[in-house]
Structure 1
């Protein structure tokens, strides 16, 4: 589990770990939580070298992921709860690209012409996947994404606030947030500027969690079952440990939840 998560990311990791624990417990396996940040793999190296685990579930994947390389070199059974671009890696993920393509397409069908995209680090695979879904949707409508309204690598409140200000100043009519953390900060900035949602600008999030559930207005978002993601990842890993064949990549379903913020 990444140690550099934001507090608003915690619901995802909690639910995924609950899914892992549920399956592991049923099969009489114990769960050992290992936390690492960035390229710091000291904890992972230690538990592998001390033979403390039979296999590993990685809860976040990076474009250049030293954890994947290390586990492949050590020939340790593992599965990623998320996609990665490495060969011969077992992956369980939600279909983020299709989900983002569908939600963006709905906004385009509703007449949005200047959509801004706000997101976090491009080093995280899921953010690249979400971006690809937005590009796909524009291409389906014969349009090109406006690069002047794409704001990525927003690591911190000040960066998000500036991105919102720039997007509004450049005439955006809809703010697409790559996740609930960014969306919560976007909504806070819009309230500070007394910009009304959805009357003056519409807002949607590519991930939903308890962070957004009490927001007024309610937020249009993509809903994923994080607990099922963890459970399916654990099932895949246990089958590998038992020497069984497993699927290389499994994509789980999603739901588009249309609410007040895009009406």
Structure 2
């Protein structure tokens, strides 16, 4: 392994110039930067992380805070692995490391975050599972710790955020189902106070109202974000005397369990009930095929990383065009699960 002194000797330039080039500083000629990075790769340069952190007062670590009880159960880990890949693609350019910070479902997320911050573990943070009112935002803002959120909140301290287009999904789905004759449409939402559930249900209600319809409170099903949660929703729906003719599944993790619950009762998606959900790698194996929304999770991760670095003084000049706030649109993939059409 090669250190910075050996790298400087090999290139016959000063240690200071090599250091600035490796750290992405703007006062380095682009050709020199290219030579330094190329030589670092060829010679296997590995920075002395402990010494570097002491000198700079940084850790070169970015933490991604997740809640194990709600986000990485079932297929959720598939979603985040792709997001992580996109994030680390950006961080690798700057020799930054991404670390997942897993908050147990039995611990208060605010207390967990305070403990992480007190240890000075990371230079910046990415928060997920954003709540309707999220005190974590104000805590980090007061301590001037750079952070970006995957998800919106009514709490707003001016931080950058990216979120999926849950409102767009609700509007497109309701319009599509109403056009096929459906009037009694159910929706799902996460079981906790995560903000995406509010966004999705509220827009579903507005979309139905635009067609002169109302969202029946009995047709709002809360569930855990996993296969078991989807199965439970199916059981609850089947037990109803006046069943809905269509349903929207807000979370990609519940479709498999929902299909299983319907199958056990002899109810077939697309024939007996219309279903629109969100695509996952596993949903491609469902039969009949799921009509659902999809996105590039890796690209979402890249955008998250760039939005965060744009707020950090050491990197902001490298990302002047990073979008600080964006609703990430998804594409609808048509399947057979919403083929059930009611007579006019």
Q: Which residue in the other structure is 2:333 paired with?
A: 257
Which whole-Å CA distance do the structure 2 matches of 1:153 and 1:215 have between them? 20
- Normalising by structure 2, we get a TM-score of 0.70
Question: What SS does the corresponding residue of 1:240 show, helix, strand or coil?
Answer: coil
Which whole-Å CA distance do the structure 1 matches of 2:286 and 2:297 have between them? 21
**Bigger Rg over Cα:** 2
Q: Which residue in the other structure is 2:155 paired with?
A: 86
Q: Which residue in the other structure is 1:171 paired with?
A: 243
- Number of residue pairs matched by the alignment: 261
**Cα root mean square deviation, aligned:** 2.1
Question: What SS does the corresponding residue of 2:98 show, helix, strand or coil?
Answer: coil
Offset, 1:122:
4.3
Question: 5+ residue gaps in structure 1?
Answer: none
Which whole-Å CA distance do the structure 2 matches of 1:84 and 1:256 have between them? 25
Offset, 1:117:
1.5
Q: Which residue in the other structure is 1:224 paired with?
A: 295
Higher relative contact order (CA 8 A, sep 6+): 1
Task: Note the 1:25-64 alignment, pairs <5 A.
Answer: 25-38=92-105, 39-41=108-110, 43-64=112-133
Question: 5+ residue gaps in structure 2?
Answer: 1-65, 340-344
Which whole-Å CA distance do the structure 2 matches of 1:82 and 1:104 have between them? 22
Q: 1:63 to 1:43 in 2, by over 3 A?
A: same
Which whole-Å CA distance do the structure 1 matches of 2:325 and 2:189 have between them? 25
Task: Note the 1:193-208 alignment, pairs <5 A.
Answer: 193-205=265-277, 207-208=278-279
Q: 1:24 to 1:222 in 2, by over 3 A?
A: same
Offset, 1:56:
0.5
Question: What SS does the corresponding residue of 2:163 show, helix, strand or coil?
Answer: strand
Which whole-Å CA distance do the structure 2 matches of 1:70 and 1:237 have between them? 17
Q: 1:188 to 1:153 in 2, by over 3 A?
A: closer
1:25-48 residue CA offsets vs partner (Å, 9 max, x unmatched): 122211122111352455533442
Which whole-Å CA distance do the structure 1 matches of 2:337 and 2:288 have between them? 6
- Normalising by structure 1, we get a TM-score of 0.90
Task: Note the 1:15-30 alignment, pairs <5 A.
Answer: 15-30=82-97
Kept after mapping to 2: 8 A contact 1:93/1:229: no
